[in-house]
């Protein structure tokens, strides 16, 4: 079973995630409506089953919640992938969302890195501060031990740009994590 159950409790946040890489229902509750929408899209396009709940110090701001959710999703992915044997490993895609076009290139080979180039035309989408998106992506990439390159080619609406980024990541995850063989996808014979 390619699953993981992660709970992370700090003085700032309390997060619980059950993740199934091979599918299932998706339920997300973080207290941040737009972020819930983005995470739901991420899990849906990845083809993952996920039950995520998060509560955090939203009276301060959303930073701790968004970053810590990235940590938890990253750790859950790393645990569910196990030795990463048989996975496709690499994938890249471009996702259009109306006037916006965004890309994600992903290697789930065990090396953590993020390159993020996505200027946002507006600072907020509803109550969601778009500067938190790279914080989420960085926390996810480091804790999942993946190399992730994200780019917004263009876009005039921060909602569309952000949504295209999350959907691009989800789509890349779907194909990277798919079982496509029986050996490790590396000329070294090991990943990382």
pLDDT at 30: 98
Distance CA 68, CA 158 (A): 22
| Under-70 pLDDT residues of the chain | 181-192
Tell me the CA distances in angstroms from 75 to 19, 81, 182, one per residue in order.
Answer: 10, 10, 23
Per the CB < 8 A criterion, the answer to whether 89 and 110 are in contact is no
Residue 97 has what pLDDT?
Answer: 98
pTM for the whole thing? Answer: 0.95
User: Can you name the CATH fold of 3-176?
Assistant: Ribosomal Protein S5; domain 2 (3.30.230)
Residue ranges of domains in the chain = 3-176
| CB contact burial 134-160 (16+ within 10 A = b; e otherwise) | bbbbbbbbbbbbbbbbbbbeebebbbb
The per-residue pLDDT for 187 is 46
What is the pLDDT at residue 107? 97
């Amino acid at each position: 079973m390619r699953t993981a159950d992660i709970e992370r409790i700090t003085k700032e946040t309390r997060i619980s995630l059950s993740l199934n890489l091979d599918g299932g229902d998706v339920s997300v509750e973080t207290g941040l409506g737009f972020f819930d929408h983005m995470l739901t899209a991420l899990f849906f396009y990845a083809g993952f089953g996920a039950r995520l709940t998060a509560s955090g110090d939203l009276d301060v701001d959303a930073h701790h919640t968004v970053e810590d959710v990235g940590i938890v999703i990253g750790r859950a992915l790393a645990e569910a992938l196990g030795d990463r044997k048989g996975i496709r490993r690499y994938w890249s895609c471009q996702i259009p969302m109306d006037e916006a076009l965004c890309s994600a290139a992903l290697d789930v080979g065990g090396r953590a890195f993020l390159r993020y180039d996505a200027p946002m035309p507006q600072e907020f989408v509803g109550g969601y501060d778009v500067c938190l998106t790279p914080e989420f992506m960085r926390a996810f990439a480091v804790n999942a031990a993946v190399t992730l390159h994200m780019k917004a080619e263009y876009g005039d609406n921060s909602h569309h740009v952000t949504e295209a980024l999350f959907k691009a990541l989800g789509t890349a995850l779907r194909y990277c994590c798919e079982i496509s063989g029986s050996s490790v996808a590396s000329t070294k014979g090991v990943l990382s």
